[in-house]
Amino acid sequence: MTAQRACALSELEQDTPLRVVLDGKPIAVVRDSNDVVHAIGDTCTHGDISLAEGFVEGETLECWAHGSAFSLVTGKPLNLPAFEPVPVYTVTIDGDDVLIDPSATVAA
Ligand code: FES
């Protein structure tokens, strides 16, 4: 598989997650306050909740349902009740295109 266009960089507001689906995989794309773009699995590992509906704080994305905050860098939850990580995908920026390879996860 190769990287696919997920969205435009210009449509990503800082700290406002965007949910995309690539090859059937829901992915939360986040442009953090340092303009670094992250892509992690969008489904909270505690329940069937879209993490893109949650809150960005620094390099974490917090699930709104029960408050587990997932690292945008490692995918690991930093607090309970979730304890399983979400996948982290490699992001490539090409001009105004945000490219993500949904078949390749980053080893945490
Ligand atoms: S569903 Fe996300 S923390 Fe419970």
How far, CA to CA in Å, does 66 sit from each of 45, 75, 82?
Answer: 11, 17, 9
Q: Which residue range is the domain that position 63 belongs to?
A: 4-105
Q: pLDDT (tens digit, 9 = 90+) per residue, 57-98?
A: 999 999 999 999 999 999 999 999 999 999 999 999 999 999
How far, CA to CA in Å, does 31 sit from each of 4, 18, 34?
Answer: 17, 9, 8
Domain count within the chain: 1
Does pTM surpass 0.75? yes
End-to-end Cα spacing for the chain: 20
Q: pLDDT (tens digit, 9 = 90+) per residue, 26-38?
A: 999 999 999 999 9
Q: Is the CB of 53 under 6 A from ligand 1?
A: no
Best residue for ligand 1 mutational test, from 40, 46, 55, 60 (most atoms within 8 Å of Cβ): 46
* pLDDT greater than 70 at residue 1: no
Q: How far apart are CA 29 and CA 32, in angstroms?
A: 10
Q: Which CATH number fits the domain that encloses residue 82?
A: 2.102.10.10
**C-alpha of residue 47 to centroid of ligand 1, in Å:** 5
